[in-house]
Structure 1
Amino acid sequence: MQYLPKTPKQKLYYGLTAIAIALGIAGVMVWNGHQQPKAVTEDIPAVQTAVINTTAATQEYTYSGEVRGRYESQLAFQVSGKVIKRYVERGSTVKAGDLLMKIDPKDLQQLVNSNSAQVYSAESNLKLAEANLKRFQQLYQHGVVSKAVLDQYQTAYDVAVAGTRQASAQLSAGVNQLDYSSLYADHSGVISQINVEAGQVVGAGQPVLTIVLDGEREVEISVPENRIEELRKSPKIQVSFWALPNITTEGKVREIAPMADPVTRTYKVRITLLNPSPEIKLGMTASVTLLGNETQAAAIVPLSAIYQTGDTPCVWVVTGETVTLRQVKTGKFGNGTVEIVSGLQQGDRIVTAGVHKLREGQKVNPGGDTL
């Protein structure tokens, strides 16, 4: 391609254009040099806060237990034998004198029959000995027999009397044993446990069932040895029931076991229920709450307010418009809450949500309510 030489007018035009561009750039630079730099704005987050309102806390300790009867009796047969019939179920309500269980009476009946025969034989021997004694007494009075012969018949009569008494006693014992083959309730109450079934052979004195006598109801709990003294000093005991959420009753300590369980190192404690509802049944699961005396003032805060640093719980305290991390000591945990026993004062404002997004000294826009 061939380029034509520029004319004088063209040269003048291009020169003026270059000068104008240079002056424009210089003007812009001078104008920018006189402008103030823009301030960098900080993003201030809005946080949910609450003002601390401390109250006196009450110590509470809760233990699980089971509803029991104050008086429980283990019943057993007085003779051994094979169980042939059970007349009650677990939970059955019985009255004094009701038939509960029976063992096979065949062997005992045979023993009674044998003793009856022995009584008949002894009575027959007694009649014969008595008749002989009377006859020889008459002979002795007429001088026919000697005193020695009369003494022999007197001794035979005395032996026959003793034999009759012995046979009668054996018969009476046999009849009693036959009666013992049937087990009766000695008190009114509820059958709480059955240990044997029909077909099993039991020994004399072996517990076969347990009856809870009518009357007071109690809850049995296990208390650690380090809480026994607090139990003694507890001014109030409340008992609630898992199956009856709307029923709560008061209780009192009736008995503390003198020795701890060697395995669990806990003490068995019996809590008597005061004015229990008829709906409270034996065997129900109960929660026993021991209410202690008031302790130092404490605050209840949401769990979301706790900022955990290692093993140390902390909270963000708002002072003015900035936050500061403060260590606290926690107490009892509740349903989504925790008790702060030290580290906070009345009127302190803390952050209750989003605590893991904050940093020390950060400005915030607080808002919230009083705890």
Structure 2
Amino acid sequence: MQSFLRFTKLPRKKLYYALAAAAILFCVGGTIIWKGHNQSQPVTQDIPLVRTAVIGTANTPQGYTYSGEVRGRYESQLAFQVTGKIVKRNVNLGSTVSAGDVLMQIDPRDLQQTVNSTSAQVYSAESQLRLAESNLHRYQQLYAQNAISRAQLDQYENAYEVAQAAVRQASAQYAKGSNQLDYSLLYADKSGVISSISAEAGQVVSAGQTVLTIVQDGEREIEISVPENRIEELRKAAKLTVSFWALPNINTEGGVREIAPMADPTTRTYKVRISLLNPPPEIKLGMTAAVNVVSAGDQTSRFPTIPLSAVYQTNDTPNVWIVTDQTVRLRPIQIGSFGNAGVQILSGLNPDDTIVTAGVHKLREGQKVRIADGDRQ
């Protein structure tokens, strides 16, 4: 306390100097302490894990693979020939049917009334015909006795012919009504399998509206979609090999049977049907298939193919990362044609080169890397 009193009794000027010196010492000390706490610690280098591939030998088969679906060669889209309300559906999706089976039925009440009406018209016309025939016979006798003129006889002959025509007309209308009543039942015209159902009981359908699709028994084929720039190559294909996703151990050869003359308006691709030369009995409708197309005249290529993910673009130059002794180096390459498996490399790679196939945009020249398990350098 006495020290503080003596400190306050110093002259004002000396007091200011003492406070200023203390403040400077405080700031300098705080700065030193702050720098000591915030001094950057040494950063450990993060060695990235990469996927790699080894460039194999040349002369590997080249081609394109198209995904497709197993379809029947003959597919019928069935529809009613008359308008009406569906009252019964006798089949389900995938049902096996025989020719002549009733698949669907529409309400026949209005059609039955039409048949009843035309049947009554037939009876009326036949009655008029019998009357005309009786009158004709009577007036023929009177004409033979010279009791009437020829003009009167002609009138009754004409009336008889009109009655005959009326009977034929009424009979035709009755036959038409009977046919329409029979059209209320939708029959299977061929034996096969129901592949799609587009109408249900209670729905009102118009004449010609597709309600069922039936795949006829017989040949099976593959439907694929091909872009327009591959159509000619497909026409000249040396070999088509078909594999099935659900049947991995089965492969069969195929041939182009049909190419659609116009592109699909939505996908802008052409529908192509591939017939199976020796179809295995295990294939089912709707199975997923893959059609591998090998081009004619160039069934193999002397250039290696790498995944697109391995290409690293710098400006206008394509490159790949080469792994040597766990270190990556950038090497320029020349790109050829593109395919399903990747891209052809015309120059810049040698057999047994190890390249990075994933994560190429996160690497830098001379960086150390770790190779993922299962890959080899």
Q: TM-score, normalised by structure 1?
A: 0.71
Matching residue within 59, 62, 70 for 1:59? 62
Aligned equivalent of 1:37: none
Aligned equivalent of 1:185: 188
Residue identity in the other structure for 2:261: P
| Deviates further, 222-231 or 254-263 | 254-263
Shift of 1:193: 1.4
Shift of 1:329: 5.5
Percent identity between the two aligned chains: 64
Residue identity in the other structure for 1:314: W
Shift of 1:125: 1.4
Aligned equivalent of 2:320: 313
Residue identity in the other structure for 1:128: L
Shift of 1:114: 1.3
Matches within 5 A, 1:1-371: 54-292=57-295, 293-298=298-303, 312-316=319-323, 326-328=331-333, 342-345=347-350, 359=366
Cα–Cα, structure 1 residues 242 and 295, in superposed 2: closer, same or farther, change >3 Å? closer
Shift of 1:266: 1.9
Q: Which runs of 5+ in 1 are unaligned?
A: 1-48, 363-369
Does structure 2 retain, via aligned residues, the 8 Å contact 1:95–1:188?
Answer: yes
Shift of 1:119: 1.1
Shift of 1:294: 3.6
Cα–Cα, structure 1 residues 243 and 127, in superposed 2: closer, same or farther, change >3 Å? same
Number of aligned residue pairs: give it: 309
Larger radius of gyration: 1
Cα–Cα, structure 1 residues 262 and 107, in superposed 2: closer, same or farther, change >3 Å? closer
Deviation per residue, 1:203-229 (Å, 9 max, x gap): 111111111222222211111222223
Deviation per residue, 1:132-171 (Å, 9 max, x gap): 2111211221222222222222222111111111111111
Shift of 1:297: 2.6
Distance 1:97 1:50 in 2: 60
Cα–Cα, structure 1 residues 248 and 50, in superposed 2: closer, same or farther, change >3 Å? closer
Residue identity in the other structure for 1:96: A
Aligned equivalent of 1:46: none
Residue identity in the other structure for 1:197: E
Deviation per residue, 1:101-140 (Å, 9 max, x gap): 1111111111111111111111111111111211121122
Task: Provide the secondary structure at the position in 2 that maps to 1:277.
Answer: coil
Task: Provide the secondary structure at the position in 2 that maps to 1:246.
Answer: coil
Distance 1:272 1:251 in 2: 5
Shift of 1:327: 4.2
Distance 2:99 2:223 in 1: 26
Residue identity in the other structure for 2:113: Q
Cα–Cα, structure 1 residues 143 and 262, in superposed 2: closer, same or farther, change >3 Å? closer
Cα–Cα, structure 1 residues 51 and 182, in superposed 2: closer, same or farther, change >3 Å? closer
Task: Provide the secondary structure at the position in 2 that maps to 1:55.
Answer: coil
Distance 2:190 2:170 in 1: 34
Distance 2:204 2:353 in 1: 75
Aligned equivalent of 2:14: none
Task: Provide the secondary structure at the position in 2 that maps to 1:228.
Answer: helix
Does structure 1 retain, via aligned residues, the 8 Å contact 2:319–2:331?
Answer: no
What RMSD over aligned residues (CA atoms) do the two structures have, in Å?
3.8
Residue identity in the other structure for 1:129: A
Please state which structure has a larger fraction of its residues in strand. Answer: 1
Does structure 1 retain, via aligned residues, the 8 Å contact 2:241–2:253?
Answer: yes
Q: Which runs of 5+ in 2 are unaligned?
A: 1-51, 369-375
Cα–Cα, structure 1 residues 316 and 325, in superposed 2: closer, same or farther, change >3 Å? farther
| Deviates further, 213-222 or 79-88 | 213-222
Task: Provide the secondary structure at the position in 2 that maps to 1:265.
Answer: coil
Shift of 1:189: 1.6
Residue identity in the other structure for 1:276: P
Shift of 1:276: 1.3
Deviation per residue, 1:273-292 (Å, 9 max, x gap): 22212221112222111123
Does structure 2 retain, via aligned residues, the 8 Å contact 1:84–1:103?
Answer: yes
Does structure 1 retain, via aligned residues, the 8 Å contact 2:55–2:350?
Answer: yes
Does structure 2 retain, via aligned residues, the 8 Å contact 1:67–1:219?
Answer: yes
Distance 1:351 1:119 in 2: 89
